[in-house]
Structure 1
Amino acid sequence: MNLLITGVTIADPNSQFNQKTCDVRVEQGKITAIGNNLKPANQEEVFDGTGAILSPGFFDLNCSIGDPGFETKEDIETATKAAMSGGFTGLAVLPHTKPVVHSKGEVAYILNKAKGNLVQVLPIGAVSHDLEGKELAEMYDMKQSGAIAFSDGSKPITDDGFMSRALQYVKGFNGLMMVHPENKSIAGKSQINESKTSVLLGMKGVPALAEEMHISRDIFLATYHDAPLHISNITTAGSVALIKKAKKDGVKISCDVAAHYLVFTEELLNDFDSNYKVKPPLRGKSDIKALLNGLKDGTIDAVCSQHRPQEIEFKAVEFEIASYGIIALQTVLPLLIKAGLDAGQIAEKLSVNPRKLLNLPVPVIEENAEANFTVYHPAKEWEYNTTNNQSKSANSPLLNKKLTGKVQLVYNNKQLQAYG
């Protein structure tokens, strides 16, 4: 499809047109012209980009899809529809499916099922067989088959020796491990942040220490093996400080934060709304401030969705037995805008850096480049509701609420999706 976008502002740190307002022409999947006062051609769709931002397509580092095995939560079709609506043209999907993505067969299944989609779906292979943290999965074979990284998803790797061996093994073929930071022996069965709020609610709290001790261990192991390591979903000020120091010391470490940890605080749990129950738990205002500073100074490399679909029967229950997670693909952009990130920061943390971390090609907004981009209006309001929710699940505290920041177009793989 041929397309002309007029008067749009480009946000791409790798483009010579960064921060410039231009017209952009796309023909047969390529950006063929960027300039001013471009004239519409025959059979060309024209989109008025006044006030809108054109960024390289968003890429999510941390997405859960139930396919295979848990398709009642989410399948590839619904996940990619939700991703498109949220501005994502690429997803890295976690291995906690059934069967677990722990061999080349599951990797091939996901790649084949998502083939030809506007949204590129790339599997993350498991570190351990069945996510049990005991036996190494077939990581090399999965890498050869198309796995882009390795993780046990939301399960922390608790055995220090196993973690050490996994890092050493993955380093041998330039793989990347992505780990969930949680010291289970300290966190126990607690489900909310340890603070005044947990005392007021009469619930046991998860101390920040549980996350920070786990990160400290992983920093020691990454240093010992001189191996790259990615920490997923950091949430505390102490975690930011630990990673900042490790980077300064030359450790090959990177990290991300989910968008909701930049906006939601633990006080939202006062009504025991299980849609705010996430793992790690929501923290305090001082943690949010540290996370935002970490994004600005480069300590935190990327923002992710931490999309975790759950059927209603796992959420519409008492808080203590409710499952963790929020559906988040369609709400990452509005939350980042609410948190105060500008267009340049959004492009860097949501488009460029996630792909760099995974050694994937980074789309660039330049003439003769393959077209892979997102157009969004940062000031446009919209209501997120059951009609426009593209996920199979509905476990979001933002449903039926007005949000600011709306995706208008996504383009990738010679396919265009437009939203009103």
Structure 2
Amino acid sequence: MKTILLRSVTILYPGSAFNNKTADVLIKDGKIAEVSQYIAAGDEDLVLIECQGKMLSPGFFDLNANLGEPGYETKEDLISGAAAAVAGGFTGLAVQPATHPPLHSKAEVSYIVNRSKDFLTDIYPVGCISFNREGKDLAEIYDMFLAGAIAFTDGSRPVCDSGLMSRALLYVKGFDGLIFSYPEDTSIAGKGKMNEGVMSTYLGMKGIPALAEEVFISRDLYLAEYNESKVHFSTISTAGSVSLIREAKKKGLKVSCDVAAHHLVLTEDSLADFDSNFKVKPPLRTLKDVEALIEGLNDGTIDAIVSQHTPHEIEFKDVEFEIASFGITGLQTVLPLALKAGLSPAQIAEKLAVNPRRIVNVPVPVLEPGEIANFVLFDPEEEWLFDDEANRSKSSNSPFMGQKLKGKAVLVCNKEQIVGL
């Protein structure tokens, strides 16, 4: 690996003496060699990169990505998913268990760990709560934890059985494990395809009310409190959800949550033309909800931003809206969407790099001499075209495809590997 000198870069590493300051950073043999106000280039064979206006953050970490493999490699495999992750500035991914077979035993978890061990991006499996994601019997949770699973969820399938969820929350306490809750009461959501409201009425579509999400958040908060366990809520989307979690944190409950980047910039109005690329779950909500989500990020109620990367083949999206699959590809668009939502570079480092790792007990990279270099260098002002040439995913089901976006990862480093973008 080449020796690299980053000249005049803005440091976004909490805990570093240079945090929120401009400094020079020298990377040698995959490690941080020196961080100083000024580092002379000298005569050594190094690559000098001028970084005025650019930000250096710990590599981003995504708590919610679907990569397909094993079983759905035509949507995305680990290699293509990791490539999309690098292009988006991510050096860590928590991958969902919605595979075939699901990640419900140590065999599948070990497969993910071993298959991805040489990637620049660290891939962390999230195991199932229930066997086969059926919501009936607990999966091999502790065996999966020993094999490398960092948390447990049934992905986009909510655990409807309150007793099962309660037992899962109690069980993981024994090894300080973490349950990811996808909050949706399916008996209320029914066969809804979008947010229930004025727009769903106008379009004549069945709606998913905010109540479907908020009922399950209330339930799981009660269960977590009863079992004195911690819980993490994935991809919250309503103002009511933000309020419930805010109050739970004030009470001292061990609760965290994340929001998908697209829920910060899109509303249900995007569905007026029945474009299935805007069909996601939870559905796009109202402007009031978007404003509440951004407020939740600003006041610390919402801990992290995720991609909710959900790739699909064209035949699952280029169909009538009613039968199209939910989900968009998101790994490469998280940064520009977070910037569009008004987050500062320091907030982006917090919500995309630091907090996600703390939630799942993964060490946060540090910027000190001798430490492994794990970072993303990004330019919040650079504009780029998200098209087929720029897309690194196997799938292209994104409403932002063909658009010019602002904010780009330009250099990503981890595990003695470095990629310029």
TM-score relative to the length of structure 2: 0.98
Could you tell me which residue of structure 2 aligns to residue 313 of structure 1? 315
Could you tell me which residue of structure 2 aligns to residue 118 of structure 1? 120
1:18-417 mapped onto 2 (5 Å cutoff): 18-41=19-42, 42-417=44-419
What letter corresponds to residue 40 of structure 1 in structure 2? A
Report the count of equivalent residues.
419
Separation in structure 2 between the aligned mates of residue 105 and residue 45 of structure 1, nearest angstrom = 43
Separation in structure 2 between the aligned mates of residue 334 and residue 7 of structure 1, nearest angstrom = 23
Please state how far the C-alpha of 1:369 moved relative to its aligned partner.
Answer: 2.3
Farther-moved stretch of structure 1 (168-177 vs 33-42): 33-42
Could you tell me which residue of structure 1 aligns to residue 7 of structure 2? 6
What letter corresponds to residue 414 of structure 1 in structure 2? E
Separation in structure 2 between the aligned mates of residue 320 and residue 233 of structure 1, nearest angstrom = 22
Please state how far the C-alpha of 1:7 moved relative to its aligned partner.
Answer: 1.1
Separation in structure 2 between the aligned mates of residue 264 and residue 14 of structure 1, nearest angstrom = 34
Q: Is the Cα–Cα contact under 8 Å of residues 110 and 123 in structure 1 kept in the other structure?
A: yes
Q: Kindly provide the CA deviation profile for residues 39-72 of structure 1, in whole angstroms up to 9, marking residues without a partner as x.
A: 2242211211111000010000000011000000
Separation in structure 1 between the aligned mates of residue 356 and residue 27 of structure 2, nearest angstrom = 24
Farther-moved stretch of structure 1 (71-80 vs 165-174): 165-174
Please state how far the C-alpha of 1:36 moved relative to its aligned partner.
Answer: 2.9
Separation in structure 1 between the aligned mates of residue 368 and residue 290 of structure 2, nearest angstrom = 35
Q: Kindly provide the CA deviation profile for residues 59-88 of structure 1, in whole angstroms up to 9, marking residues without a partner as x.
A: 000000110000000001000100000000
Separation in structure 2 between the aligned mates of residue 111 and residue 40 of structure 1, nearest angstrom = 39
Please state how far the C-alpha of 1:349 moved relative to its aligned partner.
Answer: 0.5
Separation in structure 1 between the aligned mates of residue 28 and residue 287 of structure 2, nearest angstrom = 47
What letter corresponds to residue 321 of structure 1 in structure 2? I
The secondary structure found in structure 1 opposite 2:175 is coil
Q: Is the Cα–Cα contact under 8 Å of residues 127 and 151 in structure 1 kept in the other structure?
A: yes
Please state how far the C-alpha of 1:139 moved relative to its aligned partner.
Answer: 0.4
Q: Is the Cα–Cα contact under 8 Å of residues 59 and 354 in structure 1 kept in the other structure?
A: yes
Separation in structure 2 between the aligned mates of residue 287 and residue 414 of structure 1, nearest angstrom = 42
Separation in structure 1 between the aligned mates of residue 284 and residue 173 of structure 2, nearest angstrom = 33
Separation in structure 2 between the aligned mates of residue 356 and residue 37 of structure 1, nearest angstrom = 31
What letter corresponds to residue 37 of structure 1 in structure 2? Y
What letter corresponds to residue 24 of structure 1 in structure 2? V
Separation in structure 2 between the aligned mates of residue 34 and residue 332 of structure 1, nearest angstrom = 28
Separation in structure 2 between the aligned mates of residue 104 and residue 208 of structure 1, nearest angstrom = 36
Q: Is the Cα–Cα contact under 8 Å of residues 13 and 344 in structure 1 kept in the other structure?
A: no
Q: Is the Cα–Cα contact under 8 Å of residues 4 and 44 in structure 1 kept in the other structure?
A: yes
The secondary structure found in structure 2 opposite 1:4 is strand
The secondary structure found in structure 1 opposite 2:379 is strand
Separation in structure 2 between the aligned mates of residue 343 and residue 375 of structure 1, nearest angstrom = 11
Q: Kindly provide the CA deviation profile for residues 317-374 of structure 1, in whole angstroms up to 9, marking residues without a partner as x.
A: 0001000001000000000000000011000010000000111110122333221000
The secondary structure found in structure 2 opposite 1:172 is helix
> Which consecutive unaligned segments of at least 5 residues does structure 2 have?
none
Please state how far the C-alpha of 1:37 moved relative to its aligned partner.
Answer: 3.1
Q: Is the Cα–Cα contact under 8 Å of residues 309 and 325 in structure 1 kept in the other structure?
A: yes
Separation in structure 2 between the aligned mates of residue 258 and residue 251 of structure 1, nearest angstrom = 23
Separation in structure 2 between the aligned mates of residue 332 and residue 364 of structure 1, nearest angstrom = 23
What letter corresponds to residue 131 of structure 2 in structure 1? H
TM-score relative to the length of structure 1: 0.99
The secondary structure found in structure 2 opposite 1:292 is helix
Separation in structure 1 between the aligned mates of residue 202 and residue 360 of structure 2, nearest angstrom = 42
What letter corresponds to residue 323 of structure 1 in structure 2? S
Please state how far the C-alpha of 1:166 moved relative to its aligned partner.
Answer: 1.2
Separation in structure 2 between the aligned mates of residue 40 and residue 416 of structure 1, nearest angstrom = 20
Q: Kindly provide the CA deviation profile for residues 160-189 of structure 1, in whole angstroms up to 9, marking residues without a partner as x.
A: 111111111111221100011101011100
Please state how far the C-alpha of 1:223 moved relative to its aligned partner.
Answer: 0.4
Separation in structure 1 between the aligned mates of residue 282 and residue 7 of structure 2, nearest angstrom = 42
What letter corresponds to residue 29 of structure 2 in structure 1? Q
Separation in structure 2 between the aligned mates of residue 35 and residue 256 of structure 1, nearest angstrom = 35
The secondary structure found in structure 2 opposite 1:377 is strand
Farther-moved stretch of structure 1 (182-191 vs 40-49): 40-49
What letter corresponds to residue 40 of structure 2 in structure 1? K
Please state how far the C-alpha of 1:401 moved relative to its aligned partner.
Answer: 0.4
- Indicate the RMSD between aligned Cα atoms, in angstroms: 0.8
Please state how far the C-alpha of 1:386 moved relative to its aligned partner.
Answer: 0.2
Separation in structure 2 between the aligned mates of residue 161 and residue 361 of structure 1, nearest angstrom = 33
